[in-house]
Amino acid sequence: MKLADPQYRIRPANKEDIPGLTEVFFRSFNAPFWQYLFPDTALMRQWWHQAWQISLDNPTDRTFVVEDTSSNDQIVAFSRWMVPQPDGNLERKWPVVDETYFPDMELVGAFFGGMEESRHSLMGKEPHWMLELLGVHEKHQRRGIGASLIKRGTDHADREGLSTYLDASEIGQPYYLKTHGFKFGSNIEVPDRPEYGSFMYKGLVRPPQTTQ
């Protein structure tokens, strides 16, 4: 497994990072599906600012950023995890999701609702770590940064003897299966659209692994 070079430093995110987190999101999720669902507009950036704010206040969430120490500590990647809580709370919190921000509510319902259904059907009430978001700036991809962020979370889950869950695109699924030990769990279907064609999401589960 290729991991990030030392110039890339992982640390917990804070609220001062919110503009950088939003910028990296739009520089990471740039395939036609993501551009249609989350267009890079001032309104959508406002929505993502709210999303990061809520996440950083949510006790179930752990958000990490990666800084490029060779470029004035610029944020170039992030991961957002949901971690088990003593009371069993697994609630994902988002800003208001309505036509103000998302004109295609049929797609939004299938996407967000499908992810929730997949997670609950595969994990039930089993305590687990969940990789909710992972983004690497397009100029810093294929340098092991994503692998380092994933490993940070799965190492925590392994130490606690817990499974890890994530939702992956059909294109990304082989990487998670081959490199990080995830296994296929379910298909999350979303409607086709002329703007992006067809898109399939996958629910994946990684059983806890022990180090030898």
Q: Which of 22-26, 76-80, 125-129 has the lowest mean pLDDT?
A: 125-129
pTM of the model: 0.94
What count of other Cβ atoms lies within 10 Å of the Cβ of residue 111?
A: 21
Predicted confidence at residue 88, as pLDDT, reads 67
Strand 61-68 versus strand 163-169 pairing type: unpaired
Residue 22 belongs to a domain: yes
Tell me: pLDDT of 119 over 90: yes
Q: Minimal CA–CA distance to 16: which of 96, 97, 73? A: 73
Predicted confidence at residue 93, as pLDDT, reads 85
The residue range of the domain holding 194 is 8-206
- Residues pairing with 168 in the sheet: 202
Residue 2 belongs to a domain: no
Q: What is the CATH number of the domain that holds 107?
A: 3.40.630.30
Helix (H) or strand (E) holding 56: helix 42-57
Tell me: pLDDT of 211 over 70: no
pLDDT average, residue stretch 46-54: 97
| Domain count along the chain | 1
Tell me: pLDDT of 181 over 90: yes
